[in-house]
């Protein structure tokens, strides 16, 4: 409820007398809330939003318009929108019953027209968005988008929802072999490129490790990590009978990715953090 106040004045014989302050309240007939089904994001994710509208009056509210700014923020004198509405994803329910498709417009954020909230009832709007290249990805970044309901003579009301960039490593590993082909009884080198596109580094306390079962089995192993030689039994273990190679947990570390926002376009790019494990041995 919103309060309002009013005070009167009485003037007689050039004397002014103020009345008491009367306090009133207005009962909002329409309320709105907004929820994301996930509270974190990374680039390329799909995020589903739910807008709930409740009509506490005894009259249907017709012709309501919902606008969603899709997380728009100011950048370089312009506006960037980090979420993209997935066309055709909108579902519209009144009192739990699926209704015919509504009109949407994505010219400026997302606009949904023709919403009806039944008397003493509710309407639910569910739709999906994609996290696009304008979404900030560094640790603790957020996207806050706001929905506004207006029309039919009601005062505009709004609701916002905030999601936070995922704070975690995101690792991939690629293995290559050299030379190809390799002569029988020759030296072969395996190179493991470990890349991190996440905004958090992999550190010793993460206890990350690499295992590989070499086939054919190698002998006379030589191992290095990021150019530094490793010692068997300290940084890695190797079984020359089975060919099982394992790094000792805590020795694999990978820096976080670097994120750069283009000063002209506002698009974020990702440069993965990388570490390289090299294992050489004789066939």
Same domain, 145 and 188: no
Q: For residue range 67-98, what is the model confidence (pLDDT) as tens digits?
A: 999 999 999 999 999 999 999 999 999 999 99
Q: 129 and 96, same structural domain?
A: yes
Partners of 130 in the β-ladder? 46, 84
CATH number at residue 60: 2.60.40.740
pLDDT value at 21 more than 80: no
Comparing 23 with 215, the larger pLDDT belongs to 215
Residue 20 reports pLDDT greater than 90: no
By the 8 A CB rule, do 131 and 163 touch? no
Do 123 and 250 fall into the same domain? no
**Is residue 22's pLDDT more than 80?**
no
Q: Quick one: pLDDT at residue 7? A: 78
Mean pLDDT computed over 41-53: 96
165, 180, 199 - which closes a domain: 165
Number of H helices, E strands in the chain: 0, 28
Q: At residue 26, does pLDDT exceed 60?
A: no
Domain identity same for 155 and 223: no
How many folded domains does the chain comprise?
Answer: 2
pLDDT level of residue 24 (50, 70, 90 thresholds): low
The domain boundary, picked from 147, 165, 183, lies at 165
**Alpha-carbon span 25 to 90, nearest angstrom:** 36
Instruction: Return the pLDDT at 4.
Output: 58
From 145, 165, 185, give the residue that closes a domain: 165
Does residue 275 sit in the same domain as residue 177? yes
Q: Are residue 223 and residue 160 in the same domain, yes or no?
A: no
More confident residue, 22 or 239: 239
pLDDT confidence of residue 95: 97
Q: Are residues 116 and 248 in the same domain?
A: no
Residues 148, 58 within the same domain? yes
Q: Give the pair of three-digit tokens for residue 82.
A: 């980090």
């Amino acid at each position: 409820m919103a309060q309002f106040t009013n005070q009167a004045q009485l003037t007689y014989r050039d004397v002014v007398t103020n009345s008491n302050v009367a306090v009133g309240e207005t009962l909002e007939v329409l309320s709105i809330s907004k929820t994301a089904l996930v509270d974190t994001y990374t680039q390329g994710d799909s995020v589903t939003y739910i807008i709930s509208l409740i009509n506490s009056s005894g009259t249907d509210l017709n012709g309501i318009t919902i606008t969603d700014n899709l997380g728009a923020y100011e950048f370089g004198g312009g506006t960037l929108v980090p979420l993209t509405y997935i066309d055709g994803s909108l579902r519209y329910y009144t009192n739990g019953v699926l209704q015919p498709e509504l009109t949407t417009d994505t010219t400026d954020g997302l606009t949904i027209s023709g919403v009806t909230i039944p008397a003493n009832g509710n309407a639910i709007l569910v739709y999906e968005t994609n996290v696009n290249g304008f979404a900030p990805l560094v640790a603790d970044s957020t996207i806050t988008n706001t929905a506004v309901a207006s029309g039919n003579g009601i005062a505009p009301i709004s609701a916002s929802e905030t999601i936070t960039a995922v704070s975690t490593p995101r690792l991939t590993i690629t293995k290559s072999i050299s030379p190809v082909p390799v002569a029988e009884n020759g030296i072969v080198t395996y190179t493991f490129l470990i890349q991190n596109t996440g905004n958090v580094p992999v550190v010793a306390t993460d206890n990350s490790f690499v295992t590989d079962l070499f086939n054919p089995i190698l002998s006379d192993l030589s191992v290095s990590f990021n150019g530094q030689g490793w010692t068997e039994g300290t940084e890695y273990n190797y079984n020359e009978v089975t060919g099982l190679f394992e790094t000792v947990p805590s020795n694999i570390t990978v820096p976080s990715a670097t994120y750069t926002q283009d000063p002209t376009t506002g698009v974020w790019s990702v440069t993965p953090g990388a570490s390289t494990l090299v294992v050489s041995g004789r066939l």
